[in-house]
Amino acid sequence: MSGGGTTAWEAERTVSAERAADLIGARFPGLRGATVEALATGWDNTVFLVGGEWIFRFPRRSVALPGVRQELAVLPRLAPRLPLPVPVPEFAGRPSPEFPWPFWGARRVPGRELAEAGLPDGARTAAAAGLGAFLRALHDPGLVPGLEGELPRDPLSRAEPSVRAPMARERLARLAAAGFWAPDPAVERLLRDGERLGTSTGPVVVSHGDLHIRHLLVDPESGEAAGVIDWGDLCAADPAVDLSLAYGGFADPARTALLSAYGPVGAERELRARVLAVFLCAALAEYAADTGRERLLAEALAGFGRAVAD
């Protein structure tokens, strides 16, 4: 779908498994000689499994660097307050002539991405309930005073449908032109309704900031939530920013279980979350189509229907 141009996910720096092994071994002698296997690639990071136990993340783009520094500073303090595992950096690789950007390693969080786990909508209730309890803890107002000053306030305006709806339309138009999606009047109505909202003025919470179907890990056997990864967009924001996954990743009865565990969500916050869900699913669908990830593409496209469903 890129049409030969530069995509938003094109790497500025790539690290192979061999290069990662050299960098990790030089910086952390205790891991010298450990096996290093490519595990995952995202927009902003390349991820390796080291010694079968550790996950190391190397930035791919300079835009990710502030998030890397935030993860290093905040995740060790945030993790003990949360009911699901999150990565806790234990190895911090400083910039060097060999690799000019910071990188870090943490114990592996078990589970598979919701996008890749193959759970049908009817088998997501346990994962949804676990995510709802997780978000209730993450959005606890008591976390804000200790962290808000260190976190940017919704730097990508993800809680603002006036920003995200036009961006969603652009991506949806490209998906439709490429034959991946048939325009749905219900999606357009949702985007229009969202654009009528003003700027979010409610209290902010500590937010994951980019919570979607790739960043929730689940146990494919039990169907339970297993962990939450990729915290590079950690911020202070309207809760709608994280609640978007309730609408892009879950349908009833799973969504009902999620919101029952989380607590009440007002109509305006729900609308903001639904609009963001459409945008995130459109972005993921474009990425999946461009990189040949069929299961992710199917999941992202299904998210449009979930986002507009009651």
Whole-number mean pLDDT of the chain? 95
Indicate if 216 and 275 belong to the same structural domain: yes
Angle 97-103-107 from CA coordinates, rounded to 5°: 145
Indicate if 95 and 116 belong to the same structural domain: no
Q: Is residue 6 part of a domain?
A: no
pLDDT for residue 258: 98
pLDDT for residue 7: 65
Indicate if 220 and 192 belong to the same structural domain: yes
Looking at 81, 107, 133, the residue that finishes a domain is 107
Q: Which two tokens stand for residue 179?
A: 């034959």
Indicate if 188 and 293 belong to the same structural domain: yes
pLDDT by residue (tens digit) across 93-123? 999 999 999 999 999 999 999 999 999 999 9
Indicate if 136 and 273 belong to the same structural domain: yes
Indicate if 134 and 257 belong to the same structural domain: yes
Angle 211-216-220 from CA coordinates, rounded to 5°: 160
Q: Is residue 262 part of a domain?
A: yes
Q: Name the domain count of the chain.
A: 2
The residue that leads in pLDDT, 126 or 41, is: 126
- The domain that holds 90 is classified in CATH as 3.30.200.20
- The domain that holds 177 is classified in CATH as 1.10.510.10
Please check the confidence at residue 6 and state whether its pLDDT lies above 60: no
Q: Is residue 141 part of a domain?
A: yes
pLDDT by residue (tens digit) across 45-78? 999 999 999 999 999 999 999 999 999 999 999 9
pLDDT for residue 1: 61
| Segment holding 30, helix H or strand E | none
Domain range for 50: 17-107
- Average pLDDT for 29-44: 93
pLDDT by residue (tens digit) across 160-192? 999 999 999 999 999 999 999 999 999 999 999
Looking at 57, 74, 107, the residue that finishes a domain is 107
Please check the confidence at residue 204 and state whether its pLDDT lies above 60: yes
- Give dist(CA 136, CA 27) in Å, integer: 38
pLDDT by residue (tens digit) across 262-291? 999 999 999 999 999 999 999 999 999 999
Q: Is residue 219 part of a domain?
A: yes
pLDDT for residue 4: 41
Q: Is residue 7 part of a domain?
A: no
Predicted model pTM: 0.94
Looking at 107, 141, 168, the residue that finishes a domain is 107
Q: Is residue 5 part of a domain?
A: no
Q: Is residue 179 part of a domain?
A: yes
What whole-number percentage of the chain has pLDDT above 90? 91
Indicate if 100 and 200 belong to the same structural domain: no
Looking at residue 63, its amino acid is V
pLDDT for residue 148: 73
Local structure of residue 94 (DSSP, 8 states):
P
Indicate if 121 and 98 belong to the same structural domain: no
Please check the confidence at residue 3 and state whether its pLDDT lies above 70: no
pLDDT for residue 41: 86
Q: Is residue 246 part of a domain?
A: yes
Indicate if 46 and 96 belong to the same structural domain: yes
Indicate if 98 and 176 belong to the same structural domain: no
- Give dist(CA 11, CA 3) in Å, integer: 17
